[in-house]
Structure 1
Amino acid sequence: MTERTVAPSKTAEEGIFSRKYAAATATFAAVMFLTGFAALAVVPTLPAAAQGLDGVSLYPLVAGSFVAASLLGGVLGGSWADRAGASRPLAAGVALSVATLLISATSTTIWQLAAGRFLDGVSAGMVAVAINTAIAHDYPDRLRPRALSLMSTCWIIPSLAGPPLAGLVSAWWSWRAVFFGLAALTLLPALAVVVVLRGRTRQARAVPSQDKPPRPALMVALAVSLGAALAQYGVSGWGARQLLCAAGGFALLVAFAPRLLPSGTWSAARGLPATVLLRGLSSGAFFTLEAFVPLFLSTVRHVPAAVTGLAFTGAAVAWAASSWVQGHLLDHWPRHRLVVVGSVILAAAVAIAAAGTLPTMPALTAASALVVAAVGMGLVAPALTLLSLSHSRPGLQGQASSAMQTNQNLGQITIMALSSALFAGLGTGSSGPAGYAAAFGLLLVPSVLAALLAVRARGS
Structure 2
Amino acid sequence: MFLTGLAALAVIPTLPTAARDLDGVSLYPLVAGCFVAASLLGGVLGGHWADRAGAQRPLAAGMVLAVATLLVSGASTSIWQLAAGRFLDGLAGGMVAVSVNTAIGQTYPDHLRPRVLALMSTCWIVPSLVGPPLAGLVAEWWTWRVVFFGLAALTALPALVVVAVLRGPAWAARKAPTEDRSPRPALMIATAVSLGAALGQYGVSGWDIRHLLFAAGGFALLGVFASRLLPPGTWRAARGLPATVLLCGLGSGVFFTLEAYVPLLLVTDRGAPPLVIGLAFTGAALAWAGSSWLQGRLPAHRPRHHLVVAGALVQAVAVTLAIAGTLPATPEYTAASAMVLAAVGMGVYAPSLTVLSLTHSPPGQQGQASSAMQTTQNLGQITVLGVASAVFNAGLAAGLPAPAAYGAAFGLLLAPCTLAVLLAARTARTAPR
The answer to whether TM tops 0.5 is: yes
Instruction: Tell me what 2:403 maps to.
Output: 433
Instruction: Tell me what 1:12 maps to.
Output: none
1:459 paired with 2:429, answer yes
Matching residue's letter, 2:209: A
Deviation per residue, 1:178-229 (Å, 9 max, x gap): 111111121112211222233464133x345254444431000000000000
The whole-number CA distance in structure 2 between the counterparts of 1:342 and 1:373 is 9
Quick one: structure 1 residues 111 and 431, their matched pair in 2 at CA, closer, same or farther if it must change by over 3 Å? farther
Q: Give the 3-state SS of the residue equivalent to 1:427 in structure 2.
A: helix
Q: In the alignment, is the contact (CA less than 8 A) between 1:88 and 1:198 conserved in 2?
A: no
Instruction: Tell me what 1:151 maps to.
Output: 120
1:283 paired with 2:275, answer no
Instruction: Tell me what 2:378 maps to.
Output: 409
Instruction: Tell me what 1:202 maps to.
Output: 172
The whole-number CA distance in structure 2 between the counterparts of 1:430 and 1:41 is 35
Equivalence map 1:32-181=2 (5 Å): 32-181=1-150
The whole-number CA distance in structure 2 between the counterparts of 1:332 and 1:373 is 26
1:107 Cα deviation (Å)?
Answer: 0.3
Equivalence map 1:1-400=2 (5 Å): 32-199=1-168, 201-204=171-174, 206-207=175-176, 209=178, 211-400=180-369
Deviation per residue, 1:287-330 (Å, 9 max, x gap): 00110000000001111112201110110010001000000135
The whole-number CA distance in structure 1 between the counterparts of 2:82 and 2:179 is 42
Q: In the alignment, is the contact (CA less than 8 A) between 1:86 and 1:134 conserved in 2?
A: yes
Quick one: structure 1 residues 220 and 377, their matched pair in 2 at CA, closer, same or farther if it must change by over 3 Å? same
The whole-number CA distance in structure 2 between the counterparts of 1:351 and 1:450 is 16
1:238 Cα deviation (Å)?
Answer: 1.6
Q: In the alignment, is the contact (CA less than 8 A) between 1:83 and 1:212 conserved in 2?
A: no
Matching residue's letter, 1:203: A
Q: In the alignment, is the contact (CA less than 8 A) between 1:76 and 1:216 conserved in 2?
A: no
Q: In the alignment, is the contact (CA less than 8 A) between 1:61 and 1:229 conserved in 2?
A: yes
Quick one: structure 1 residues 241 and 156, their matched pair in 2 at CA, closer, same or farther if it must change by over 3 Å? same
The whole-number CA distance in structure 2 between the counterparts of 1:210 and 1:413 is 32
Q: In the alignment, is the contact (CA less than 8 A) between 1:355 and 1:366 conserved in 2?
A: yes
Q: In the alignment, is the contact (CA less than 8 A) between 1:87 and 1:198 conserved in 2?
A: no
Note the residue ranges of structure 2 that are not aligned, 5 or more in a row: none
Deviation per residue, 1:312-359 (Å, 9 max, x gap): 011001000100000013543111000000000000000011011111
Instruction: Tell me what 1:446 maps to.
Output: 416
Q: Give the 3-state SS of the residue equivalent to 2:140 in structure 1.
A: helix
Deviation per residue, 1:434-458 (Å, 9 max, x gap): 1111111100100111111000010
The whole-number CA distance in structure 2 between the counterparts of 1:237 and 1:142 is 47
Q: In the alignment, is the contact (CA less than 8 A) between 2:54 and 2:176 conserved in 1?
A: no
Q: Give the 3-state SS of the residue equivalent to 2:236 in structure 1.
A: coil
Matching residue's letter, 1:270: R
TM-score with structure 1 setting the length: 0.91
Deviation per residue, 1:389-447 (Å, 9 max, x gap): 11111100100111111111111111111100110111268962111111111001001
Quick one: structure 1 residues 422 and 210, their matched pair in 2 at CA, closer, same or farther if it must change by over 3 Å? closer
Deviation per residue, 1:84-141 (Å, 9 max, x gap): 0000001110111000000000000000000000000000100111111100000011
The whole-number CA distance in structure 1 between the counterparts of 2:78 and 2:109 is 48
Quick one: structure 1 residues 98 and 430, their matched pair in 2 at CA, closer, same or farther if it must change by over 3 Å? farther
The whole-number CA distance in structure 2 between the counterparts of 1:334 and 1:45 is 43
Q: In the alignment, is the contact (CA less than 8 A) between 2:52 and 2:176 conserved in 1?
A: no
Deviation per residue, 1:257-279 (Å, 9 max, x gap): 01001111110110111001000
Quick one: structure 1 residues 198 and 304, their matched pair in 2 at CA, closer, same or farther if it must change by over 3 Å? farther
The whole-number CA distance in structure 1 between the counterparts of 2:120 and 2:173 is 24
Deviation per residue, 1:2-41 (Å, 9 max, x gap): xxxxxxxxxxxxxxxxxxxxxxxxxxxxxx0000001100
TM-score with structure 2 setting the length: 0.97
1:240 Cα deviation (Å)?
Answer: 2.3
What value does the CA root-mean-square deviation take over the aligned residues?
1.3
The whole-number CA distance in structure 1 between the counterparts of 2:400 and 2:158 is 43
Moved more, 428-437 or 284-293: 428-437
Matching residue's letter, 1:99: A
Moved more, 131-140 or 190-199: 190-199
Note the residue ranges of structure 1 that are not aligned, 5 or more in a row: 1-31
Instruction: Tell me what 1:3 maps to.
Output: none
The whole-number CA distance in structure 2 between the counterparts of 1:118 and 1:211 is 28
